């Protein structure tokens, strides 16, 4: 799924790491809350919780998805061949 076309207006504008990881995992690719700590996001620390803007989170996730190499394997092939 293209994360850039996801309707963010139906979601809260700020999410914590756990909620953000669940949304990215549901609509994009598997990610853990611990992984989001290393992503280049701006975090707000409110009442002991780290919150980030959902739009920024989805933009970084889409950029990571776009930068990921595409590979194709065939039956019996033990390595992945890059797609050029």
pLDDT band for position 84 (cuts 50, 70, 90)? low
DSSP alpha helix (H) spans, 1-84: 17-27, 33-36, 54-67
Radius of gyration of the chain (CA): 15
Residue 78's pLDDT band, with cuts at 50, 70 and 90, is low
Summarize the confidence of residues 64-81 as an average pLDDT. Answer: 76
Q: Among 11-20, 49-58, 62-71, which stretch is predicted with the lowest mean pLDDT?
A: 62-71
Residues facing 72 on adjacent strands? 81
Q: CA 16 from chain center: how many Å?
A: 13
Q: What is the pLDDT of residues 3-39, one digit of tens each?
A: 777 788 888 999 999 999 999 999 899 999 999 999 9
8's tokens: 């963010």
């Amino acid at each position: 799924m293209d994360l850039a076309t996801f309707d963010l207006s139906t979601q809260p504008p700020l999410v914590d790491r756990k909620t953000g990881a669940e949304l990215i995992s549901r609509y994009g690719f598997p990610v853990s809350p611990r992984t989001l700590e290393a992503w280049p996001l701006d975090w707000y620390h409110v009442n002991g919780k780290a919150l980030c803007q959902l739009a920024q989170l989805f933009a970084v996730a889409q950029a990571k998805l776009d930068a990921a190499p595409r590979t194709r394997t065939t039956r019996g092939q033990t390595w992945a061949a890059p797609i050029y």
